[in-house]
Amino acid sequence: MLTSLLHSLRTPLRRLLAAWVELRLVEPDPQTLNLDPTRATLYVLPHPALSDSLLLDDFCRRHDLPAPDARLQLGPLALNSCMALPKQGRRLWGRLPRKRPPFAALVATLEQHPELDVQLVPVSVFWGRAPGKTFGFWKLLAADSWQLTGRLRRLLSVLVNGRNVELHLGTPLALRELIDDRPPELTSRKIARLVRVHFRRVRTRVLGPDLSHRHTLIEGVVASRDIQRVVGECAIAQRQSRERTQRRAERYGREIASNMSYPVLRFMDQLLQRLWNQLYAGVQVQGLERTKQLAGEATLVYVPCHRSHVDYLLLSYVLYREGLMPPHVAAGRNLDMPIVGPLLRRGGAFFMRRSFKDNRLYSAVFNEYLHRLLSRGHPVEYFIEGGRSRSGRMLTPRPGMLAMTLRSYLRGTQRELAFVPVYIGYEKVLESSSYLKELQGAGKKKESPLDLFKVLKRLRQPFGRVAVNVGEPLKLGEFLDARAPGWRHDRDQARPPWLSRVVPALGRELSMRINAAAALNSVNLVALVLLATPHRAIEAELLKEQMALLVALQQRRPGGANISLPGGDPEAWLAEAKTLGFIERHDQALGELILAGHQQATLLTWYRNNVLHLFALPALVAFAFRNNPRFDVDTLHELLAPAWPLIGHELFVSPLANFRDALGETLELLGQQGLLHQQDGTWSRPPGHEPNSERLLLLGRLIQPSLERGYLLLAALLRYPSGSLTRESLEEHSRQLAERLTLLSGLNAPEFSDRRLFSGLLDVLEDEGWLWQENDRLCFDAALEVAQQRGRALFDPALRHRLSQLARQ
């Protein structure tokens, strides 16, 4: 009787639910399910819930999918088109009575009727997305968590979260392909197990693991065996009571730990949605599908590039909107300030000091806290560059967080750990004015709560679009298998001997994967072309042609595996750069001119450096023809091969499988664009009076600063006999030379004389065997002098003379 009553009320209940509920996310697009119309469709829910089945019924009607409330007639078997897996539970004494496996009758029918088949479609519905938590009113009231809800709680959840519902559709599963020679009951259990594994992975991806209450988590960290050992040792070393040292450890725990709150996540989702819509013309997301596949089976560590203070807010927002659990984010302690700090902490931020030096207890507490997050499967996010990039380049990775993550992995985790590289590309960053001051030599400004109100004043300014590109994930186990094959035998060592070698390699690999997912936008393109001109001025038509050339080069031979290109045409890109305030357009009798003032040009260097790595190889080849009208491939390879490792290391370019093959493909590509001509196995540049000659020159100038830095470094080194200079003295001398060159040349490129770039060049020279150290002095042989003399052919006499004069000073 109850069943017939519910059936009669199903239609009005469905309509009532449809009027109240709003699906915030449906994944994947129902049109991509590719349901087979020749097979019967059976929807499977993870547990019985009338609200879920009614919601699914309405959804299928709206999208013209097979109806879940229909009756399927499969031979003699009649069943509903939607079923739920039975609850699994225990009585006080032993298991509940064994029930017949849910798919047993269906499997038996298919075995008796070979012409029949059924496709299973797993469906997960989330009413809100509160991760499980030990305490809190919202656990009782608000949303789906790991604990299945009762009828009253589900009713309250529908009322509270009706505007925040997600529906996740699984890939259709052909039932007949799973039938084998085993009895129907065993086959049914196997199918149920597969479906339950799918549901568990979806819940892990969307909700993350259960959250411990912050106080409980801190207590667990401090009470751990490792922390108690360090507390005792620090108490003795510092001649303090154990109780006092214990209280200090607890204080460190409170200083560090996040306090992720579901109501705050909901609030920030709504707030940030309005903020992004106000600030940006759009947030474009690419490449997240691989991460979604990994999220249910691996612990994720997001490692984005760091260009703006809003990076972590933007990424957490994107992940939340895309149906993934927002990560716990490592933030600098400088952001733990009034108003901002508590909000960030409840949004998932945990805070860390800039340095752990000389504070063993703090280091131990932080390491234990991070290990507990990772070992329990919580997604984590941190910036391997440390601070924000003031130059726009990818900065050299810091080893700290990577080493802690790797040591945590060695201690043992229940699941695989995967790094997810993320490139965030802005057409205009909120910090443009402060970056401009810092690029012009001002010191870094300390963060303040007042900065929040300054941002609010700029909400009416245009900031263009933002791209969030997710790169190729890196599974840590596979990486260690390749770089440290015996790592599994070293799990009991706190610092295995290979750690100092593997951590920098891991950071570099992640940096290259971030750069391989770069987003090319209108401001990048304008900066690349305009800053390659001597006086930051160019004809509008030539600028448009050169921007189109750069995009064409990326379309045919992309500089990264997961890059994205701008939509529209060169005129639209030019208009966008003008709207954002980066250029000036001047009408002139002979044609429109595009100019950049001193401050505009200085700021444009930041946006050029974001994507300079994408054009490293084409620019290097183009520069080779600046002082040489023609080359055969062998000569060009001999000239450029020594320079490529230096450039690739500086710009974090993914290594080439074969430089000679890549060189040949680049020559062919430049030939297709009319920038080079081939005849009788020789490549030559166009005559100087042809437009393509100027386009080749502009392309080559992109790499000129990197080559000039290398020339200055080698010229300064080779002025002295082998074994004369220390590494530090050569870095400083090279920096001074580069600084002098920028002043004499009027370059708007403050990063040109960055000492870290010269340090990176020396790293590569040592790795490639050109340099080595004896008694802390740099040593070399005649091979380096020969290579330097050969490289002089890249530079025209005037430039070579200027650089040589500087080096002699």
Q: What is the 3-state secondary structure (H, E, C) of 443-507?
A: CCCCCCCHHHHHHHHCCCCCCCEEEEEECCCEEHHHHHHHHCCCHHHHCCCCCCCCHHHHHHHHH
Do 470 and 517 form a contact (C-beta atoms < 8 A)? yes
pTM of the complete model: 0.87
Dihedral (Cα; 445, 450, 451, 457), 10-degree rounding: -140
**576 backbone dihedrals φ, ψ, rounded to 5°:** -65, -45
Residues 149, 46: Cα–Cα separation, whole Å = 12
Residues 106, 97: Cα–Cα separation, whole Å = 21
Residues 205, 197: Cα–Cα separation, whole Å = 12
**Residue 210: count of CB within 10 angstroms of its CB:** 15
**153 backbone dihedrals φ, ψ, rounded to 5°:** -65, -35
Residues of the chain with pLDDT below 70 are 1-8, 88-100, 129-151, 210-212, 413-414, 439-459, 746-750, 806-809
Do 310 and 459 form a contact (C-beta atoms < 8 A)? no
Residues 390, 309: Cα–Cα separation, whole Å = 12
**Burial (CB count <10 Å: 0-12, 13-18, 19+), residue 681:** exposed
Q: Where are the beta strands (DSSP E) in 521-661?
A: 537-539, 584-586, 593-595, 630-632
Residues 564, 262: Cα–Cα separation, whole Å = 33
Do 279 and 268 form a contact (C-beta atoms < 8 A)? no
| The pLDDT of residue 451 | 57
Q: Which residues pair with 537 in a beta bridge?
A: 595
| The pLDDT of residue 346 | 87
**Burial (CB count <10 Å: 0-12, 13-18, 19+), residue 253:** buried
Query: DSSP H helical segments within 387-449, as ranges?
Result: 400-411, 432-439
Residues 625, 686: Cα–Cα separation, whole Å = 10
Query: DSSP H helical segments within 678-796, as ranges?
Result: 691-700, 704-718, 727-745, 755-767, 782-791
Residues 381, 110: Cα–Cα separation, whole Å = 48
Do 147 and 132 form a contact (C-beta atoms < 8 A)? yes
Do 530 and 594 form a contact (C-beta atoms < 8 A)? yes
Peptide bond into 97 cis (omega under 30): no
Residue matched to tokens 């502009």 = 698
**387 backbone dihedrals φ, ψ, rounded to 5°:** -95, 175
| The pLDDT of residue 684 | 94
Q: Would you say how long the chain is, in residues? A: 809
Residues 515, 611: Cα–Cα separation, whole Å = 8
**301 backbone dihedrals φ, ψ, rounded to 5°:** -120, 105
| The pLDDT of residue 140 | 41
Instruction: Using DSSP, state whether 619 is helix, strand or coil.
Output: helix
Q: Long-range pairs for 220-227 at CB < 8 Å and ≥24 separation?
A: 220/372, 221/253, 221/257, 221/365, 221/368, 221/369, 221/372, 222/246, 222/249, 222/250, 222/253, 222/365, 224/368, 226/364, 226/368, 227/364, 227/365, 227/368
Largest CA distance in the chain: 100
| The pLDDT of residue 673 | 94
Residues 139, 726: Cα–Cα separation, whole Å = 62
| The pLDDT of residue 457 | 62
Residues 41, 13: Cα–Cα separation, whole Å = 23
